Amino acid sequence: MKKIIRIGTRESQLAVWQATQVKELLAQHGYQSEPVYIKSEGDIDLKTPLYEMGVQGVFTRSLDIALLNDKIDIVVHSMKDVPTQLAKGIVQSAILKRASYKDLFVYKNDISFLGDFSSTGLIATSSIRRKAQWLNRYPNHTVENLRGNVNTRLRKVEESNWNGAIFAAAGLERINLRPENSIELDWMLPAPAQGAIMVVCKEEDEHSLTACSHFNDADTALCTKIERDFLRTLLGGCSTPISALAEINNDIVHFKGNILSLDGKDKVEVELTCSSLQAGELGIKAASELLNNGGREIADSIRNAAK
């Protein structure tokens, strides 16, 4: 009898969609699987801003514990939620081909105010990265906290007095919830690994490692590694205003990254290019360059604010 692979997932519509994708990919390669639903701390506490919850691992910790306790065999994560240092005994088993990495602005009435950088506005996001980039571009705006799953957050936008709120394009598009009243924020750099899905398993689980290796996307794996190396070298946590994007075109990797102060007033950017064959340390190199060009002061101020 073939072993049934137990897929650990959160219960949100988006998390279930992601787990279903992995279930279908496993089936294509002859593996049987079933979902196992587990609540995360990030799903239970929907009021505290993520950056006050010590957000690193807040959506992954419960699932990792279930994995290490043999209640499940693999876990499917939104990769941007995964700490850059995986828990001891857990390894990356596959990265799926990346969807859109972009952020979206879902607006209420009109977006004419976005053309005026001196305008006032009231927008919402739970992301400290999005908040810092938004305030850097629109210093007179006010940013409020927005928590909950995708459906809840969309409803809150409709019921609020906000001008709009920021969402990840991939999250809305995967479950066909992207509203017509939304625009891509081409100027906003994404979170490291945004739009990518990561599958993890236990280090010694050869069966799951082999099963997942069939659908690992090498280009996405390289790009997200570069972005997460950049994040880890700078500060490590995803509750920081750090953005990164690596893209491969004709075997050339183009990398952009930045770090902002919490209030968005200060920003340091870096941009590097190299061949994909030489890109293994690109994220670390980019982070070092950024730190030496003014980023260290911003990184230190963020660390001090967290103490």
* Catalytic residue IDs: 81
CA dihedral sign, ordered 20, 21, 26, 27:
positive
Please check whether residue 199 is in contact with residue 253, taking contact to mean a CB–CB distance below 8 angstroms: no
Question: How many Å is the Cα radius of gyration of the chain?
Answer: 19
Write the DSSP symbol of residue 135: H
Tell me the angle at which helices 282-290 and 218-234 cross, rounded to the nearest 10 degrees.
30
What would the 3-class secondary structure string for 209-246 be? HHHHHCCCCHHHHHHHHHHHHHHHHHCCCCCCCEEEEE
Which residues on adjacent β-strands are paired with residue 122?
142
Please check whether residue 41 is in contact with residue 58, taking contact to mean a CB–CB distance below 8 angstroms: yes
Helix (H) or strand (E) holding 152: helix 150-159
What is the Cα–Cα distance from 17 to 19, expressed in whole angstroms? 6
